[in-house]
Each structure stands twice: as structure tokens, then as C-alpha cells.
Amino acid sequence: MLKQQYDFILSSRNTLLNYIGGISENDFLTDNSSFGRGSIRNLLVHICQTYCAWIGERALGIEQEFLPFERYQTLQDCQTYFKQVDEYIGLFTEKFKGKELQEMVLNRNDAILTVNPLQLFTHVATHEFHHKGQIMSLSRHLGYTPVDADIIR
């Protein structure tokens, strides 16, 4: 079920990334402190970092190196990072297939959390959609007309 849900997320994400492809490179990097991480680029990288921290590092035990936003200068750089996210989600859905409600213990900033894979997956997915909304709002402030990137459109 998680794999099917992630396919819906990918469809929405691809719509968003195609839309961002029409945004100028300058606007892609323009900081606006009213929108979370500041720029469309930063928001995309932050989405990836969150997936990599929760799914890659905490759930799968894969050590991560979190590079500064400035290391991602283009949409293509961000799309490459999303491919890493997709790989982690593939590993995650296989590892926890049929065990979506089984409790797991994770370490977050030296605090122990007890969650299940469904909660973890839901957390990163809703996080992505929250920031997708910020990207759409930020792009509107930059003079663009956002597309419908909902799951059902």
C-alpha cells in the first residue's frame, strides 16, 4: 500500500517539478524569508533532507551527509537528490511490507521515539506537501501562476 501511495506522491511531485522547470534560474534561487527555508531551491532540498533523515538515516540506518543548500544550484541538482529519496523509499517499502503498523524505535536528537512505518511514511509525505504549498505560494509572489499539483487533479 505504501508503494501505491508513493506513486501518487511521485505524480504530484513530477507535476510540481515540471512547473518549476518554467521558473527562471534567478527566481528559483531568490530568497524570501516569508516562506520557510527562503527559496524554491531551499524548500526542495529541505524536502529531500527530511526524507533522507527520517527514512534513509533513522529507518534504514544509512548514514547521511547533509550538504548546504548552496551545493544545489539547479533544478536538475534537486531532481538528482529526489532520485536518492526514491531509492530510499523503495528500500523502506520493501523492508516494512506487511509490517506497516509494527512499532520501531528511532533516535532523534538523542531522544528515543516509538513509531510505526506508516506514521513515519505519513510524516515525510505530509511534510513534502506542506512545503509544496509554500513553493506554490512563493512562485505566485514571484509572478508565476501555479499549476494544480494535487494528488487528484
Which tens digits make up the pLDDT trace of 53-69?
A: 999 999 999 999 999 99
- Residues 8-34 as b or e (16 or more Cβ within 10 Å = b): ebeebbebbeebbeebeeebbbbebee
pLDDT at 36: 73
The span from the CA of 145 to the CA of 137, in Å, is 9
User: pLDDT tens, 106-130?
Assistant: 988 889 999 999 999 999 999 999 9
Short-list 4, 7, 105, 124, CA closest to 54: 124
Question: What percentage of the chain carries pLDDT values higher than 70?
Answer: 100
pLDDT at residue 58, rounded to an integer: 96
Q: What is the mean pLDDT of residues 24-36?
A: 89
- Which residues share a beta bridge with 108? 111
